[in-house]
Structure formats: C-alpha cells, structure tokens
Amino acid sequence: MSRKKNPPIDTSGAGFGGSLGDLLKARGLAPTEPAPAPPAAAPPAAAGATLASCGRLHLSASRRGRGGKTVTLVDGLAPLGEGLDALAQQLRRALGVGGAVEGEQVVLQGDCRDRAAAWLRAQGARDVRVAP
C-alpha cells in the first residue's frame, strides 16, 4: 500500500508568513476555533503552614514485607488529612524518589531519611526525629 502524499506548498508567495500556524492553515490542519482553556486546577495545599501543626514527625527505614527492599517511612502526618497526598507528591519530587501514601504514612523508596528530614524542616516542620 502506498502512502498518501501531501500536496506541495508554495512558500515563496506573499501569503506565507513563515509561521507554523500559517503552514497548518495552508494544509487545512489548523483548528477553526481556538481550543478552550483548561479548567484552573486547585493549588496544592501549602505544606509550610500545615507541617508546623503536625507536631512530631518520625522517619524510619524498614524492609519488612517489601521483598527485601528498603523504604523510608514518614509517620506523624495524620493532621494533614486531605493535604497528605499533595505533600507526598512534593516530597517525592523534591527527593527524586518514588513512593506512595499508605494510610496515614508516606512511604518513600530507598533509604532517604536524612534528605527527607532536611526537606521537611525546610518546609516548616518543627520536630523531626530520624530513627537510626
């Protein structure tokens, strides 16, 4: 089967402005009306104000029930409620690791207790304890 060829476009004429939009219009690929703006997303919960109200945060490393893989557990974030998912996402991005929220705990892949503690303190957590 042969592929359908697009007709050649004359770019030497005065009507061609040289932009991608003009090229798409010439080929009949440009939309007739502009795309609607995406709905405004709610900004993530402010981690700095809510972390200060959490009280004591515990960071520990564990390998139990995870096939021998080491994870970092962050406990004490229960007062955040709905903001826990947003905080976990910010923490994962800041540290460059994967992770998840399990109940009222944030589970981060690998042993990143020291880096997580430093990030939490920078975000306004007052009492962060790192288990040896």
Q: pLDDT for 40-50, tens place per residue?
A: 655 554 444 46
Please report, for the chain, the start and end positions of each structural domain, with discontinuous segments joined by +.
47-130
pLDDT of residue 15: 56
pLDDT of residue 47: 42
Instruction: Tell me which of 55 and 26 has the higher pLDDT.
Output: 55
pLDDT of residue 81: 78
Cα separation of 103 and 14, whole Å? 64
Question: pTM of this prediction?
Answer: 0.60
CA 36 to chain CA centroid, nearest Å? 24
For residue 30, pLDDT over 80 is answered with no
Cα separation of 27 and 84, whole Å? 49
Taking phi over 0 as left and psi of -120 to 50 as alpha, with beta for the rest, 98 belongs to beta
Nearest partner of 91 among 53, 52, 37, 44, judged by Cα = 44
- Give CATH superfamily name and number for 47-130: SUI1-like domain (3.30.780.10)
